[in-house]
Amino acid sequence: MNPVTIRCVITDDEPLAAKGIMGYAARTGFLEVVAVCEDAVQLNTVLKQQPVDLLLLDIEMPYISGIEFLKNYPQPPKVIFTTAYERYAMQGFELDVLDYLLKPISFERFLKAANKAYDYFAAQQTSVSPYFFIRSDKKLEKVQYQDILFVEALENYVAVYTTDRKILTHATLKSVVEMLPAQQFIQPHKSYVVNIQHIGAIEGNILHVASFQVPMSKYQKEEVLEKIVNNRLLRK
């Protein structure tokens, strides 16, 4: 795999905060800062002028917030929120951001988020088929990764739930997991693997996936929430 260079834009109305993030980015070796903006209006202009992979985006800014900008910009780059306010964490989750950093941001925490971004873009760079085949009832069924809601282990069988059907196959959960893109799926329980894109809500130890409820093991909960959105931001 070729090394990944991530073109990013820092947007923050606090000059010292922007300078600190720029210094952190330079230390990673793979984040290339192509612009620094004071607000979302400047960011909007930059995005129309050059390709950008990642936004390091503050939330509370003049004119328009980072959240409102992200909601209204068509096909925005991936985002890591950098903010002093914890209360926006759930909205960040709903907007599918890569991570959510609370100021003051330590370099250790920033590097963790940056590595998450690196893994995401490295996976995008890798040429992987968007589907695989499952043997069921003496035939092979083609399944698109994006259509999978979750996978459930059932003794000697595995049930693959998709957006339009349920497929039973004689296999182990482990063998199915090995075929799935790791950045897209999580294992919240020893008997389940879930497509992150289809998680609609988290309620206690339950993941709401379309019309289904998938249990989340207390031993896996922290790891699962960390992969979806920074775990400590969701605690009451």
d(CA 232, CA 236): 9
pLDDT at 223: 74
pLDDT at 126: 60
Confirm if 193 and 186 have CB atoms less than 8 A apart.
yes
pLDDT, one tens digit for every residue, the chain (236 residues): 457 899 999 999 999 999 999 999 999 999 999 999 999 999 999 999 888 999 999 999 989 999 999 888 888 899 999 988 787 777 766 777 889 999 999 999 999 999 999 988 887 766 456 888 998 888 899 999 999 999 999 988 999 999 999 999 998 898 888 888 877 888 999 999 999 889 988 888 999 999 999 999 988 787 777 777 643 444 44
Confirm if 118 and 178 have CB atoms less than 8 A apart.
no
Interval 210-224: pLDDT, tens:
999 999 998 878 777
Helix (H) or strand (E) holding 194: strand 192-195
d(CA 52, CA 102): 23
pTM, whole model, 2 decimals? 0.56
pLDDT at 46: 95
pLDDT at 125: 67
pLDDT at 235: 45
- Report all structural domains of the chain as residue ranges with CATH numbers, in order of start: 6-126 (3.40.50.2300), 131-229 (2.40.50.1020)
pLDDT at 2: 59
pLDDT at 24: 97
Cis peptide before 104 (omega within 30 of 0): yes
pLDDT at 184: 83
Confirm if 148 and 160 have CB atoms less than 8 A apart.
yes
pLDDT at 128: 59
